[in-house]
Amino acid sequence: MASIDSMNELFVDELRDIYDAEKRLTKAIPKLAKKASNDDLRSALEEHLQETEGQISRLEQAFEHLGERAKGKPCAGMKGILEEGDEHVGEDYEDDDLRDAVIIGSAQRVEHYEIAAYGTAIAHARLLQQDDIVQLLEESLEEEKAADAKLSQIAESVVNIEAADQSEESEEKTGPARSRQATSRQRSTAASSSKARVSSSRAKSARRR
Ligand SMILES: [Fe+2]
């Protein structure tokens, strides 16, 4: 393989990496949406799938602008994030809200990776004085940021509280002190899905006693 010997080549390489990442996402997002139970979460994912299609076409415009063929270069980073997400989402959860919390975590990891990639590509496009491409990439970056903010909002306002409430309902039936502790612990760590999962399994073992 030829070595990268100019900023321009490096930039094309970066765009190919992002192009591959976005293409992978068009396959991964529908799978996540299918597993989501919360309506807001599902529609946020479906909406972002549409945006992702648009981002792919912006990248194609950027390649055209540079006189380069639109072609992906396997993005190991996105591949890894998606594999990890797949693994976590596929685990057993006591209730659907906990799985939704994990789906949000996976989707936000994706968004942050993309935000980083677009940020660097925009800086390089500026160096190369590719103003039209800067504009295209900035539009996509804004969509990624908005998608991330939307996911944070869903995580805070819907999914985690419902997950905690469900534990509270089952606690009311049995009422062990350990379970009450687990629920408040779960609330205080609502932002961390893995911790919520630990609390949930604690609540489950407390109920068994
Ligand atoms: Fe994207």
Q: What is the pLDDT of residues 10-41, one digit of tens each?
A: 999 999 999 999 999 999 999 999 999 999 99
Weakest-pLDDT range from 35-39, 129-133, 143-147, 167-171: 167-171
Within-domain flag for 125: yes
Within-domain flag for 162: no
Question: Residue 185, Cβ neighbours under 10 Å: how many?
Answer: 16
Q: If you measure from the C-alpha of residue 157 to the centroid of ligand 1, how many angstroms do you get, rounded to a whole number?
A: 24
Q: If you measure from the C-alpha of residue 145 to the centroid of ligand 1, how many angstroms do you get, rounded to a whole number?
A: 10
Residue type, 99: R
Confidence of residue 191 (pLDDT cuts 50, 70, 90): very low
Rounded to whole angstroms, the Cα distance separating 87 from 85 reads 5
HSE-up of residue 128 (Cα within 13 Å, Cβ side): 20
Q: If you measure from the C-alpha of residue 165 to the centroid of ligand 1, how many angstroms do you get, rounded to a whole number?
A: 33
Rounded to whole angstroms, the Cα distance separating 45 from 143 reads 12
Within-domain flag for 206: no
The residue among 122, 3, 1, 12 whose CA lies nearest residue 67 is 12
CB-based neighbours (< 5 A) of ligand 1, an ion? 52, 55, 114
Within-domain flag for 62: yes
Q: If you measure from the C-alpha of residue 22 to the centroid of ligand 1, how many angstroms do you get, rounded to a whole number?
A: 5
Q: If you measure from the C-alpha of residue 26 to the centroid of ligand 1, how many angstroms do you get, rounded to a whole number?
A: 9
Rounded to whole angstroms, the Cα distance separating 124 from 141 reads 14
Q: If you measure from the C-alpha of residue 52 to the centroid of ligand 1, how many angstroms do you get, rounded to a whole number?
A: 5
Q: If you measure from the C-alpha of residue 42 to the centroid of ligand 1, how many angstroms do you get, rounded to a whole number?
A: 17
Between CA 194 and CA 190, with CA 52 as vertex, the angle to 5 degrees is: 20
Within-domain flag for 176: no
Q: If you measure from the C-alpha of residue 127 to the centroid of ligand 1, how many angstroms do you get, rounded to a whole number?
A: 22
Within-domain flag for 67: yes
* CATH number of the domain bearing residue 101: 1.20.1260.10
Within-domain flag for 72: yes
Question: Residue 36, Cβ neighbours under 10 Å: how many?
Answer: 23
66-80 residue pLDDT tens:
999 999 999 999 999
Within-domain flag for 165: no
- Give the range of the structural domain holding residue 148, as residue numbers without chain letter: 7-157
Residue 42 phi, psi dihedral angles, 5° rounding? -60, -45
As for how many domains the chain has, the answer is 1
The pTM of the whole model exceeds 0.85 = no
Please report the beta strands in the chain, taking only residues with DSSP state E, as ranges in sequence order.
none
